[in-house]
Amino acid sequence: MRTQDMVMRFRDKVAFITGGAVGFGRAFAKALAAEGAAIVIADIDGQSGCASAQALEADGHAAIAVECDVADEQRVEAAVAAAVDRFGGIDVLINNAGLHLLAYNQPFGALERQKLRELFDVNVIGIVNCTMACRRSMAARGGGVVLNIASMAGHMCITPYSVSKLAVRGLTIALATELAPDSIRVNAISPGLMATESAMEHLPQTMIDHIINNSQLIHRQGEMRDIVSAMLFLCSGESSFITGETIKVSGGYPLYL
Ligand SMILES: NC(=O)c1ccc[n+]([C@@H]2O[C@H](COP(=O)([O-])OP(=O)(O)OC[C@H]3O[C@@H](n4cnc5c(N)ncnc54)[C@H](O)[C@@H]3O)[C@@H](O)[C@H]2O)c1
Question: Tens of pLDDT along 141-157?
Answer: 999 999 999 999 999 88
**Residue among 104, 161, 253, 256 flagged as catalytic:** 161
Sign of the torsion angle spanned by Cα atoms 36, 40, 45, 47: positive
Examine residue 217 and state whether it is found in any structural domain, yes or no.
no
Q: Is 161 in the pocket of ligand 1 (CB under 6 A)?
A: no
Question: Residues 27-49: what's their mean pLDDT?
Answer: 98
Q: Is 178 in the pocket of ligand 1 (CB under 6 A)?
A: no
Q: Is 151 in the pocket of ligand 1 (CB under 6 A)?
A: yes
What's the pTM value of the predicted model, to 2 decimals? Answer: 0.96
Q: How far is CA 124 from CA 80, 161, 220, 241, in A?
A: 18, 11, 30, 25
Question: Residues 185-197: what's their mean pLDDT?
Answer: 92
Examine residue 202 and state whether it is found in any structural domain, yes or no.
no
Q: Is 20 in the pocket of ligand 1 (CB under 6 A)?
A: no
Q: How far is CA 150 from CA 117, 146, 173, 250, in A?
A: 18, 13, 12, 12
- Per the rule left: phi > 0, alpha: psi between -120 and 50, beta: everything else, 36 is left
Examine residue 204 and state whether it is found in any structural domain, yes or no.
no
List, for residues 117-127, the tens digit of each pLDDT value. 999 999 999 99
**Count of domains observed in the chain:** 1
Examine residue 218 and state whether it is found in any structural domain, yes or no.
no
Q: Note whether 80 and 132 are within 8 A (CB).
A: no
Averaged confidence pLDDT in the chain: 94
CA of 98 to the centre of ligand 1 (A): 4
CA of 41 to the centre of ligand 1 (A): 13
| Of 26, 41, 44, 228, best ligand 1 pocket probe by most atoms within 8 Å of the beta carbon | 44
pLDDT given at position 213: 93
Instruction: Name the pLDDT band for 27 (thresholds 50, 70, 90).
Output: very high
> Rounded to an integer, what distance in angstroms lies between the CA atom of residue 246 and that of residue 172?
8
Q: Which residue minimizes the CA distance to atom 2 of ligand 1?
A: 194
Instruction: Name the pLDDT band for 167 (thresholds 50, 70, 90).
Output: very high
Q: Is 222 in the pocket of ligand 1 (CB under 6 A)?
A: no
List, for residues 60-106, the tens digit of each pLDDT value. 999 999 999 999 999 999 999 999 999 999 999 999 999 986 788 88
User: What CATH number is given to the structural domain containing 233?
Assistant: 3.40.50.720
Examine residue 185 and state whether it is found in any structural domain, yes or no.
yes
Examine residue 205 and state whether it is found in any structural domain, yes or no.
no
Instruction: Name the pLDDT band for 54 (thresholds 50, 70, 90).
Output: very high
Q: Indicate if the pLDDT at residue 116 is higher than 70.
A: yes
Q: Name the residue range of residue 39's domain.
A: 3-194+223-248
CA of 5 to the centre of ligand 1 (A): 31
Specify whether 161 is catalytic.
yes
Examine residue 216 and state whether it is found in any structural domain, yes or no.
no
Instruction: Name the pLDDT band for 3 (thresholds 50, 70, 90).
Output: very low
Atom of ligand 1 nearest to the CA of 152: 6
CA of 172 to the centre of ligand 1 (A): 18
Examine residue 208 and state whether it is found in any structural domain, yes or no.
no
| Of 16, 30, 43, 73, best ligand 1 pocket probe by most atoms within 8 Å of the beta carbon | 43
pLDDT given at position 207: 86
| Of 95, 151, 231, best ligand 1 pocket probe by most atoms within 8 Å of the beta carbon | 151
pLDDT-wise least confident of 91-95, 105-109, 176-180, 233-237: 105-109
